[in-house]
Structure 1
Amino acid sequence: MVTQLALPLPGLEGDMAPSAPVDFLSAQQPRVLDLFAGAGGLSQGFQQAGFEIVGASDIDPDACATFALNFPEAQAICGDIRLPEVHERIVESGQGVDVVVGGPPCQAFSQVRNHSRIIDDPRNSLYREFVKTVGELRPLAFVMENVPGMAQMGVLEQVKEDLELSGAYNVRPNLLDAADFGVPQARKRLVFVGLRSDLGETPPLFKGTEATLHLALVRQGKGKYAVETRRDEVRAAALLKALEDPDNTTVVSASQALSDLWNLKAGRREEVMPIGEMKEAESEYQRLMRKQLEDKIWNVSVPRINSDTVTRLKGIPAGGNHRDLTEALTARYISGEKWGPSTDSGKLGRAHFYAYRRLHPGVWAWTLNTKADSAYHYRMPRALSVREFARLQSFPDHFVFTTDPRRGPLPGRIDGGQAHSRYRQVGNAVPPLLAEEIAQRVKTLIDAGREQSVQTVAPSSSEKKPARPAAAGA
């Protein structure tokens, strides 16, 4: 039986005011609405933790296509959440959800110095939409993730206060690094977890392994890199041992994530590969990623690469970057083949340097961005496929990245073509394993709140039940 409690939430006025009672005790499988969902990293993690994804919204039609493909039972709403008709559809799809999640863009951090609230800044209208939607739907909990820069002095306090909705929610921010939660990539995110005050629970504090504090890839000289321990040597030694163990998924290296895809070649055009062509899984992480994979693996095409880049990559060791290039390899053109913009100096420009970086097999990757050349393979002189990006983000292999089949400009579409869109979708996502850790803690707390509400709301067996009306004519 579902019990509805029409509890007033203090301090909500105008467009922040909730419109209807919400189910305090919902279905056994808690339900999630994902705002600014992108491809669905948060949704994938919450689904893995046992949540039902009922709806999502995003403005990018390519990301919406990926979400719809991977969450066919959910309602994918594509459009600008600021438009009344789109907002109405989102709120309708989210009626009765237990959790709202999302990562709204929030840009105007500097305005706090001028004593104005960031929620009032026009550049933060998407952030305001998230707060507004939470106020309207009144979920038991919400999770909002954002860039670490939001943690700067003044901003954090404002955001926490906004999300508390005048005492309706208890909110706690956490600054998390995905590599501390079994993701083979260093990726810091600021995560706000809010629990409805009437649950009587305190939002969680996350810790993780703290591997990023105790281990680091260090340049010991030109062409020489190694993983070194720091801080608490006993703790660091244990973490290093875990990192080197292929059967341990608490701390995962790039090779433990990618080594079974070694046979992908630069310039590969095929997007799909039979799983029989893959190497046997060489780590527990790879086995975890392959779960639910059927007969094919997708997103395995690899960008082409020019001969100059190959030559430079061969001169950079695993874990290295442009600082390891010899003087000859810093020439703008090595083979004589002209490609890309030239430079007046005849040398590589500063803009080129970020691209010449090779992963190290013995440690997690650095933070991926939205471009294919943000990381090169530690063994082969090539860029990574979208699938390898997805592995480093902890998306399972059955998760397929796609694009809207319509060609040309579309509202919300970012220029760059299909391949770039898929890299961007992965690079912008929240790592599902990090999301799963958050989801498990949230689920535990809302379950505890439900249990408490049952004890409070349900009549005890000793209470006298009202007499049943007599049948007509008795």
Structure 2
Amino acid sequence: MSNISTAVDLFSGGGGLTVGLKNAGFSVVSAVELEPNAFNTYKINHPEVSVFNKDIKTISGDKFLEASPTGMVDLVAGCPPCQGFSSLTSKYRRFDPRNELIFEMYRVIEQLKPKIIMMENVPGLAQKGKELFEEFLRRISELGYMYEWRVLQVADYGVPQTRRRLVLLAGKGFHIPFPEPTHSRTGENDLPLWRTLRDAISDMPEPVTLSQTKKLGGPKNAKWHVVRDMSAQNIKRLKKAIPGESWRKIPKKLRPDCHKDIEAGFPNVYGRLSWDKPSGTITGGCTTLSKGRFGHPEELRTISVREAALLQTFPPDYIIDTDYMEKACMIVGNALPCTFAEVLARRCFEALRQNE
């Protein structure tokens, strides 16, 4: 076996999974990402990787192999788009064609025949997407892969954020044991406590607003430590918001019309984060007060794009290569947290060495 352990990153986004794979010892040889801003972000941070800005359906397995110095791929990793199975979209029952992309991942696996498969997705894949998921499992079993899947909490693995993800690990003819948690919510088993918001962003300077970045030549020149300009009404709401509490603590007269007389709905919107807890799940709405608990614990603002990236455990100098706030937030919010990816990838790397 070669000393080089090669990997392919499918649906790579801005590259959070690739950061973890590289830190774990893999040489990522190729990747694919359709969305142009995410592709640019991936390419500028991982220039050595042969990355395709194409629809995965148009790429044969051979193309992924071309950049491999060993002529093979040891690991195929991927996060197939999963919006159709997300709990955030559960009220929309119509079919989402992206749900079927899991079988494009299967096609690449069938063509490349890697020793290991590592897949991440939303927990809803095992419920709303049960039929597709079970068919995927049946197919990889027929190829000789022994799989295990679990829903894991990323905070248990050193990420300063609560985020539940479905993870599948599969070896060609061998099992891959799941990594043990490195952190704990309560400190059981003498593990360190979950990392908090304070651990991740307390030393960050004051950000600039999106309008202020025009004088700097764009938000990239502020390294995306940028927040949206906030309306006067939202500033009033944030003044009344209590860290860690829901919007129900905001006086009714300041609530949006949709929340004035109804106590139902997502409890985290218009909320402030708490210094001494992990953040909630970072999403593509991470700089918008109405889309989640993204208010700063002390200041009259949301977290910045850069702070959201730190909560996703991207390296502090990771380049977010877009000029658009919506795109920057999606690149960060859609990523697999780098530290979580690294823990999983290390387990895969160890299994590869043990089954040479």
Query: How far is 1:347 from its partner?
Result: 7.6
Q: Tell me what 2:311 maps to.
A: 392
* In the alignment, structure 1 residue 132 sits paired with structure 2 residue 107: yes
* Post-superposition offset of 1:433: 0.3
Matches of 1:313 and 1:124, distance apart in 2: 37
| 1:99–1:142 Cα contact (<8 Å) kept | yes
Partner residue, 1:89: 63
Asked if the contact 1:266–1:382 (Cα under 8 Å) also holds between the matched residues in 2, the reply is no
Equivalent-residue separation in structure 1 for 2:143 and 2:259 (angstroms): 60
Residue by residue, what CA displacement relative to the aligned partner does 1:216-247 show, whole Å, maximum 9, x if unpaired? xxxxxxxxxxxxxxxxxx728x56xx43xxxx
The alignment partner of 1:211 has SS state of coil
- Give the corresponding residue for 1:203: 176
Q: 3-state SS of the aligned residue for 2:326?
A: helix
Alpha-carbon separation, structure 2, partners of 1:67 and 1:202: 31
Query: Residue 361 in 1 paired to residue 255 in 2?
Result: no
Q: TM-score normalized by structure 1?
A: 0.64
Question: For residues 283-298 of structure 1, what are the structure 2 equivalents within 5 Å?
Answer: 298=223
Residue correspondence of structure 1 range 396-411 to structure 2 within 5 A: 396-403=315-322
> 1:350 Cα shift?
7.4
Which structure 2 residue ranges, 5 or more long, are not aligned?
Answer: 86-95
**What secondary structure, in the 3-state scheme, does the structure 2 residue paired with 1:82 have?**
helix
* Cα deviation, residue 192, structure 1: 0.8
> TM-score if structure 2 supplies the norm length?
0.84
Question: Residue 445 in 1 paired to residue 351 in 2?
Answer: yes
| Alignment match, 2:88 | none
Greater Rg, structure 1 or structure 2?
Answer: 1
| Distance (whole Å) between structure 2 residues aligned to residue 235 and residue 100 of structure 1 | 34
Q: Cα offset for 1:209?
A: 4.3
Which whole-Å CA distance do the structure 1 matches of 2:127 and 2:242 have between them?
A: 36
Matches of 1:132 and 1:46, distance apart in 2: 21
Question: Of residues 53, 56, 79 in structure 2, which corresponds to 1:103?
Answer: 79
8 Å contact kept, 2:248–2:263 = no
SS at 2:19 equivalent: helix
Mapped to 2, the partners of 1:442 and 1:45 lie a distance apart of 12
1:453 aligned partner: none
Q: Which of 227, 236, 260 is 1:311 aligned to?
A: 236
For residue 30 of structure 1, what is the aligned residue in structure 2?
5
Q: 1:108 to 1:419 in 2, by over 3 A?
A: closer
| 2:149 matches 1:173 | yes
Cα distance in 1 for residues equivalent to 2:223 and 2:97: 40
Structure 1 residue 265: Cα displacement: 4.7
Q: Residue type of the partner of 1:161? A: R
Q: Structure 1 residue 123: deviation in Å?
A: 5.7
CA separation of 1:436/1:365 partners in 2, compared to 1, >3 Å: closer, same or farther? same
**Compared CA separation, residues 323 and 390, structure 1 to 2 (3 A):** same
Residues 252 and 260, structure 2, Cα contact 8 Å, conserved in 1: no
1:365 and 1:344 map into 2 onto residues whose CA distance is: 25
Distance in 1 between residues matched to 2:232 and 2:263, nearest whole Å: 18
Amino acid at match of 2:74: D
Mark the runs of 5 or more structure 1 residues left unpaired by the alignment. Answer: 1-24, 110-120, 215-233, 244-250, 274-296, 333-342, 404-416, 451-474
Contact 1:77 1:89 in 2 (8 A): no
Residue 44 (str. 1) matches residue 19 (str. 2): yes
1:116-131 alignment runs, 5 A limit: 124-131=99-106
Q: Which residue of 1 aligns with 2:196?
A: 253
Give the C-alpha shift of residue 122 in structure 1: 6.6
Partner of 1:370: 284
Q: Which moved more, 1:187-196 or 1:427-436?
A: 187-196
Provide the rounded CA distance (Å) in 1 between the counterparts of 2:268 and 2:158: 26
| C-alpha distance in 1 between matches for 2:306 and 2:258 | 37
Residue 206 of structure 1: how far off its partner (Å): 3.0
Residue identity matched to 1:142: I
| One-letter code aligned to 1:211 | S
Higher mean displacement: 371-380 or 65-74: 371-380
User: Per the alignment, do residues 184 and 123 of structure 1 end up closer, same or farther by CA in structure 2, a change over 3 Å counting?
Assistant: closer
Write the distance in 2 (CA, Å) between the matches of 1:135 and 1:36.
17
Aligned residues: 332
Matched, 1:235 2:211: no
Distance 1:265 1:379, change over 3 A: farther
> CA–CA distance in 2 between the matches of 1:266 and 1:349?
32
CA displacement at 1:260 relative to structure 2: 0.8
**1:310 is aligned with what amino acid?**
I
Kindly, what percent of the aligned residue pairs are identical? 30
